[in-house]
A and B are shown apart, each in its own frame.
Chain A
Amino acid sequence: MTSVVATNQTILVVGGGISGMTAALEAAETGKQVVLVEKNPYLGGRTVQLYRYFPKMCHPTCGLEINLRRLKANPRIQVLTMAEVTGISGAKGDYSVSVKLAPRFVNENCTACGECNKAATTEIDDAFNYNLGKVKAAYLPNDMAYPQRYVIDPSVVGTAEGQAIKAACKYSAVDLDMKEEVVTLNAGAIVWATGWQPYDAAKITPYRYGEFKNVITNVEFERLADPHGPTGGKILRPSDGKEARNVAFIQCAGSRDENHLRHCSRFCCMASLKQTRYVDEAFGADGKSTIYYIDIRAIDRFEDFYQQVQANPNVSFVKSKVARITEDKNGDPRLWGVNTEGYIRYAEPHDLVVLAVGMEPSVKNVAIPIEVLGDSSGFVMADPANGGIFGAGCATNALDVNRAVQSATAAALGAVQVVSKVARGEA
C-alpha cells in the first residue's frame, strides 16, 4: 500500500511535465512540502518527447537532468507516477484529494538491469514515440525515465510470459500481484499542471491524416528527428522508409479555425521553423522545406530565428492555408492551394507533410473534479473563484516551454501563499 505524508500545509502538484516539475521544485526549494502526481510512469511530460527546443536548438533532456537532480536532492517532494487525480473536495487551505494509482508491476527493488525486457516477447505500441514504433511488454519508458524503473504492461500479467518476466528478475522487483489502489491525501493548495495534447489531426479531414501514411504531425516529426526515436534520427517517411528530403509544413492545422480550435496555439510557427532545421541538418542543400502559413507568429525575440530560417535558400514560405491533400501513385502527398500573395495556384508534391497541429488542454477545466473557471478553449483561467487551485503551464494557455515555466513559477507562488497562510494559522 502506497503511503503518502501530506497535510493541509502540503502543496499538491498535478502533472509531472516541465510545468509541474517546475512548480513543485520552486515551492519545495522555498521550504514547502510537495506531492507531485503524474499519470505517466515517468516525469517530464511532453518535453521529453521533443528532440530539440527553439530557438537554441538545445536538448530538453539537459534541463530535465537539472530538474531531476534538484528533485532527488530535495527531501520535501514526494513523487507518485502512474497516478491520476479522481476526486477533489474541500476548499482553499484544506483539500481532500483521491488519487488512483495504476499498478506498475515493478517495485523499488528494480535496478533497471533490463533482464525483464530480455525475457519479454510481446510487443506493444510505443506510446513514448507516438506509436511510431514498438516496445517489449516490459520496458523502460525512455533513457532518462524517472523513476529509473521498468514498467510491465498489464497485457502480459497472468500469462506464462508474465511468469517468465518475473523469473528473469534477480532482485524480485517484479510483482505481478500489484493492484490498482486509491490513496486519499490532504493538501492546502493545488497546482493544476496537466499540460496539453496535440489536436486530433484526423478531424482535419481535407488533410487525410491517418489515411495517407506520409501525412504526419509535428509531434511525430520530433520523434523522427530524434536519434533515440523509432528511425534512429533519420528522417524517413512512414510509407516506404524513403528519405524525406522535400518536406511540407502546414501551419494552423486545427488552430485559428472555428471548425476546430478557435485559438492560436502560439508555439507551432516556431516549432515548424525549428523543424526546417532538422531537414537542413539531415540533407543540407539536398533538403527542401516549405512552410504554408497564414501569419508567421515568431513573437518577440524569436524573430531572430525566423530571419535566420528565411535566409536559408532551402526553405520557402507560402502564404496559404492548404486546401486539401491528395496522394500520388508513388505515395507522395500532393498539396493543393493558392498562394494568396499575388494569387499563384499550386498543386505541389512533397515527400512528407508535417501538420503543425495545435495545442488543446489535455484536461479541460470542466473535466477537473472540482469547479475551476476556464476559457472558451477549456484552458484554466486564473480567478479568485478557483480558491486554492492554480493553473500552471499549458493547462492555462497555449504556451512554449519557456512561457510554461514562467507560468508554473508564478503558479507556485500562489500555492505557497495559501499554505504559508495555513502555517501562520491565518487560513
Chain B
Amino acid sequence: MARKEYAFYPGCSSQKGASASNYLTSVESMCKTLDVKMTEIPDWNCCGASISYAESGELPRLVMNARNFALAEQNLPGQDIVATCAACWLGSRESKERLEHSSVLMADTNTALKEAGLNLKVIPEVRHMVEVLIEDLGYDELAKPVKKPLDGMKFAGYVGCQTNRPFGIAGESFENPMYLDKLVESVGGTATQFDQKVTCCGGALAFSEPDKAQAQIKDIIEAAYDSGAEMLVTPCPLCQANTEVYQGQINKKYGTKFNMPVLYYSQLMTLAYGGTAKEAALDGNVIKARKLEEFAAK
C-alpha cells in the first residue's frame, strides 16, 4: 500500500506518442521513487483546454470536465484528482468552482451527464502534481531520496501562467512564485534569478498566431540566458512545447542562437533520484539536454 494514492488525470498531451509523453514517463518514475500511487481515471476525456472556448460554449465544456469528476467519484472514491497538465488542472478546477457556485449549472450538468449514464454528487478536490509534491510530501521529503544531486547545474524555473494564475500554489505570489526554484534546489540544482518566470508563452496562439506567440517566447529564452541558466525547467506541457520547439524558427526570424533544453521538474527529480536517461525520458526532448544525458550516464 503506497503512502499516498490519487486519481490520476494525465490529459491528452501526456499520452503515449503525444507532445508531452516524456512528461508522463518522468512523472511515473518520480512517483515510483516517492511511493505515490497514481491510478488513471478510467476512460477520462479531454478538459477542453482554454482554447476551445469559442466553439464549446460554457455548459458543454463544464460537462466534459464533469464527466471526469463523475468517473473519478465512481471508480476512485475519496481520492483527490491530480493533473500534471496545467490546462487540465485549470480547466477542471474552474469547472469545479463554477458548478459548486451555481446550482443551475450543476442541475443542467447532471441532466446532460445522464445521457452518458453518469451522475455527479460531490466533486473531488482537483490538484496539480506540484501541489501534491509540495503540500502532501514537502520539500524535505522530496530531498530525501536524492542519490545524485544536480550539483552545479543552473536552471531557470519557468512557471508560466496556468499553474500560477488564477489559482496558483498556496502561499506563492502570482508575480514571483518560488516553488519551482525550491524544487530545483531540493534536488541539488541551482535556480537562477529569472525575471520572466511568469511571462506567458503565448499559449494556444503559438498555433493560430505564431508571430505574436514567438515574440513572447523570445523574451523568455533571452531572459533565461541572461540569468545564466543552462536549461529551462517547467511544470506545464504547453509552456514546455512552446519554449522548446520554436527556438529554431525564432533563431531564423531574429538571428538569435537559442539552443536551450527545456525540461520538466519531474525529469530533474527522476535523474536526481538516480533514474536513467530513459526513465527520465530525456530522449523526449527535442533540444537535447546533453549535460543531463552525461549526468545520467555517470
**A-side interface residues toward B, CB under 8 Å?**
205-206, 208, 211, 324, 326-327
Contacts and interface: CB of A to CB of B under 8 A. Distances in A.
B176 interface: yes
Contacts, number: 12
A208 B195 contact: no
Given A211-B176, A326-B195, 10 more contacts: A205-B173, A205-B174, A205-B175, A205-B176, A206-B174, A206-B175, A208-B175, A208-B176, A324-B175, A327-B195
A425 to B, nearest CB: 58
Interface residues of B, number: 5
Contacts of A205: 173-176
12 contacts: A205-B173, A205-B174, A205-B175, A205-B176, A206-B174, A206-B175, A208-B175, A208-B176, A211-B176, A324-B175, A326-B195, A327-B195
B164 to A, nearest CB: 11
Nearest to A327: B195
Q: Give the top 3 A-B pairs by smallest Cβ distance, nearest first.
A: A205-B173, A205-B175, A206-B175
Nearest to B177: A205
Nearest to B172: A205
A261 to B, nearest CB: 18
A90 B46 CA distance: 64
Interface in B169-191: 173-176
Contacts of B173: 205
Task: Tell which of B174, B175, B176, B195 has the most Cβ of chain A within 10 Å.
Answer: B175
A211 B174 CA distance: 14
Contacts of B175: 205-206, 208, 324
A211 B195 CA distance: 12
Nearest to B174: A205
A324 B176 CA distance: 12
A326 B219 CA distance: 14
Nearest to A203: B173
Contacts of A208: 175-176
A328 to B, nearest CB: 11
Contacts of B176: 205, 208, 211
Interface in B190-239: 195
A290 to B, nearest CB: 22
A119 B246 CA distance: 67
Nearest to B173: A205
Contacts of B174: 205-206
A400 to B, nearest CB: 32
Interface string B27-54: 0000000000000000000000000000
